[in-house]
Structures are given as structure tokens and as C-alpha cells.
């Protein structure tokens, strides 16, 4: 009879073998050399510390060399850039100076041809680029003077052919102006010069300008002093002529001083009968340097001061108040007597006020024994 549990027993008997097959296999350790030496072919790591490889040294050295090379290239490039900038700036300055020199050379050509506006634009450009350019400021001042006295030519859109100007009449007028200058006929000389300037503004510009200056300067002096062809003085006209002459050149000391005294005389006369103290102050200054200067009324500055001192003294003496204030009139009348002797009326006023301000003190009688 077959046992029903037999298959199970067979099954149980084979189970240990299957379990043995599924267990992990553990490699057996090699036996140690009894002599204490290891196999040179062994791949197991030893107990000694590892040393850095030669490749690491090579890589670090390469990086350091690369950094040094980059720094050297950077410094060299910066130095080269700085040098290049300096060279470009120097070249630019030289180029600008050359261009300004060429423009300044063209200025004289424009002035000779009467193209004052073009010359002025060139000079303004030069001064804008280099304010200290030699001679530019002086030339600009000269052109401004010429433009002030010379009408600028009107440019035309389309150029037209013009015949050669006939200068025969201009030469005749110029010869006449020279004769008038020799005879000191300043007024007619001014008319001849105006004719030349209107006909051709560029005709002998420098000579005509100098003749203008001489005529205006001398005619202004004659009007202020009442000399030459002027029998009476004209202070305002003389001042005007001297001011016009100053546009052609600076006035000399004599002309400039005479113009100042003429202005001072007019200012002093404006205070006449209005403000005697200020009239006295201004006429004192005029008399100090130009005592014979007079206006159209033919009254000299000395005579004006004499009358102003008398009137100012009357004003103080008749003002009333304290006697010490009235006594100041004595100084004014005394100053007037230094210019001209006092008449009887003012001499009497002076004596009366002097007795009041400086009374005679009686001396006491000596005692009798």
C-alpha cells in the first residue's frame, strides 16, 4: 500500500539542497604567505599613503602660467592703448593748428577784398577753437571797426559781370581831400571823404580812415576851443566829433582831457540857479585845468565860478540861523575875490558880516595911579 504522505517526504528531503543553492557564495580568502611576503601580482591596496600624481603638478603649473600670460597681455594692451590715444590727440592738435593757420591766412585776403563778414566768420571760428590764437583778437577788433564805418556789401544771388570801375573821379576827389587836409579845412575834408567812401568803400581804406580820424579829432578840438573856422564854441558838437574819431583810433591825452572838461562844464551849467553848491564844485574842477573854457554864451569857466561863489555866499548869509553858519559866506566871497575883485556891494556885505563874525574886542584901560 502506497503511503499518501510519501511525496511530501520526498519533497521535504530535497528542500535543504534547494536552500543551499540559493545561499550567497562567499569567496574564500587567500591564505597568507607564511614567510610574510605578498604576491607582487596582488591587486589589493596596500596600507601605505597615496602620493599625488605627476599629472596634478603639470595641470597646476599650466594654470599659473596661463594666468601670468593673461595679466601680461592685459597690461601690454592697456599701455599700447594709452600710447595710441596720446598719439591721436597730438595728431589731432597738430591738424587743428594747421587748419586754424590756413583760415587766418585767408582772413587777410578777405579783408583786402572787402569781404569783412567772411573774414569775421573765419576769426570767430578761430577764436572759438583757440581763444589764444596769436593775432586773432586784434584782427577781429579791426574788422569790427571797419564794419562799423563801412556799409557791408549786399550779396547777390546770381553773379553778374561788372565793368572795371573808373577811378579817375575818385583820384581827383582824393587829391582834393589832401589839399583840404593841408589847409586844415576839416568840414569840407569830411565831405570829400564821405564822397569817396560812398563811391567805393574799399578805396584806399587805411588812408581814408586815418584822414577821417584827423579831421574829426581836429574839428572837435576847434569846436570846443572856438578856434580855427569856429568863432564861437560848441561844446556838444566838439564832444560828438571826438567820440566819432575814437571809432577810428584811440584819442590822445590832450583831446580826451578836453572832452572830459567840456562834459564837466555842461554838467556844472545844468546846476546853475538850481543847486549852487554842486555848481561851485564842478566849476572848481574845470577852472583847475581849463579856466578859459567857455560855452556858446562866451562866459569862461573862471567867470562862472566867480558868479557861483557870490550867489552861494548870498544863499548862506541870507538863510538866517546861527551866526557861525552865516560866517561861511565869508570864505566863499574871499575865494571869489581871488578870481576877481569884489564890487562895492559885495565888499560892503563882506565888511558887515566880518564885523559880526569877527568883532573887535576892546582892550581895558590901564589903571591910573
Could you write out the DSSP letters of every residue in 28-90?
A: PPPPPPTTS---TT--S--SSPPPPPHHHHHHHHHHHHHHHHHHHHHHHHHHHHHHHHHHHHH
For residue 45, pLDDT over 70 is answered with no
**What are the grid coordinates assigned to 39, written together?**
604576491
Three-state SS at 300? strand
Per-residue pLDDT, averaged over 207-216, amounts to 92
Residues 171-180 pLDDT 10s: 889 899 999 9
Q: What is the pTM of this model?
A: 0.51
In CATH, the number for domain 252-358 is 1.25.40
For residue 29, pLDDT over 70 is answered with no
Residues 245-269 pLDDT 10s: 999 989 899 999 999 999 999 999 9
Cell 539542497 maps to which residue?
17
CA distance 192 to 197: 9
Q: Lowest-confidence range among 27-41, 141-155, 228-242, 244-258?
A: 27-41
For residue 34, pLDDT over 70 is answered with no
Q: In this predicted structure, what is the pLDDT of residue 130?
A: 83
Alpha-carbon separation of residue 80 from 68, 83, 88, 295 (angstroms): 18, 5, 12, 80
Top-confidence range, 39-48, 72-81, 267-276: 267-276
Q: What is the domain partition of the chain in residue ranges?
A: 82-148, 168-250, 252-358
Average pLDDT, whole number, for the chain?
A: 76
Q: In this predicted structure, what is the pLDDT of residue 85?
A: 52
Task: Give the CA dihedral 56, 62, 64, 66, nearest 10 degrees.
Answer: -150
For residue 198, pLDDT over 80 is answered with yes
Cβ partners under 8 Å of residue 240, min gap 6: 220
Q: In this predicted structure, what is the pLDDT of residue 64?
A: 81
Q: What percent of the chain has pLDDT over 70?
A: 67
Amino acid at each position: 500500500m502506497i503511503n499518501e504522505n510519501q511525496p511530501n517526504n520526498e519533497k521535504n528531503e530535497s528542500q535543504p539542497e534547494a536552500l543551499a543553492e540559493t545561499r550567497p557564495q562567499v569567496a574564500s580568502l587567500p591564505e597568507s604567505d607564511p614567510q610574510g611576503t605578498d604576491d607582487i601580482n596582488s591587486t589589493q591596496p596596500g596600507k601605505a599613503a597615496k602620493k599625488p600624481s605627476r599629472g596634478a603638478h603639470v595641470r597646476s603649473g599650466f594654470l599659473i602660467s596661463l594666468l601670468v600670460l593673461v595679466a601680461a597681455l592685459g597690461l601690454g594692451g592697456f599701455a599700447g592703448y594709452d600710447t595710441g590715444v596720446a598719439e591721436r590727440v597730438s595728431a589731432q592738435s597738430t591738424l587743428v593748428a594747421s587748419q586754424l593757420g590756413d583760415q587766418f591766412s585767408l582772413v587777410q585776403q578777405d579783408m583786402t577784398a572787402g569781404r569783412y563778414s567772411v573774414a569775421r566768420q573765419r576769426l570767430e571760428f578761430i577764436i572759438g577753437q583757440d581763444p589764444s590764437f596769436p593775432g586773432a583778437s586784434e584782427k577781429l577788433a579791426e574788422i569790427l571797426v571797419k564794419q562799423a564805418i563801412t556799409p557791408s556789401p549786399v550779396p547777390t544771388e546770381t553773379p553778374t559781370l561788372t565793368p572795371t570801375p573808373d577811378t579817375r573821379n575818385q583820384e581827383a576827389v582824393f587829391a582834393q581831400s589832401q589839399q583840404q587836409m593841408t589847409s586844415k579845412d576839416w568840414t569840407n575834408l569830411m565831405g570829400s571823404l564821405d564822397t569817396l567812401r560812398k563811391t567805393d568803400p574799399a578805396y584806399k581804406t587805411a588812408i581814408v580812415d586815418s584822414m577821417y580820424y584827423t579831421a574829426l579829432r581836429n574839428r572837435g578840438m576847434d569846436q570846443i576851443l572856438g578856434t580855427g573856422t569856429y568863432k564861437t564854441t560848441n561844446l556838444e558838437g566838439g564832444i560828438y566829433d571826438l567820440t566819432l574819431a575814437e571809432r577810428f583810433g584811440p584819442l590822445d591825452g590832450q583831446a580826451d582831457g578836453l572832452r572830459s572838461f567840456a562834459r564837466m562844464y555842461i554838467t556844472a551849467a545844468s546846476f546853475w540857479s538850481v543847486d549852487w553848491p554842486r555848481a561851485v564844485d564842478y566849476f572848481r574842477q574845470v577852472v583847475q585845468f581849463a579856466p578859459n573854457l567857455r560855452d556858446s554864451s562866451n562866459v569862461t569857466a573862471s567867470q562862472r565860478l566867480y558868479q557861483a561863489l557870490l550867489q552861494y555866499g548870498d544863499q548862506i548869509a541870507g538863510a538866517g540861523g546861527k551866526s557861525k553858519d552865516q560866517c561861511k559866506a565869508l570864505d566863499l566871497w574871499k575865494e571869489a575875490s581871488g578870481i576877481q575883485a569884489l564890487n562895492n556891494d559885495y565888499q560892503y556885505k563882506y565888511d558887515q558880516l566880518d564885523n559880526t563874525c569877527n568883532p573887535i574886542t576892546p582892550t581895558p584901560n590901564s589903571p591910573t595911579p
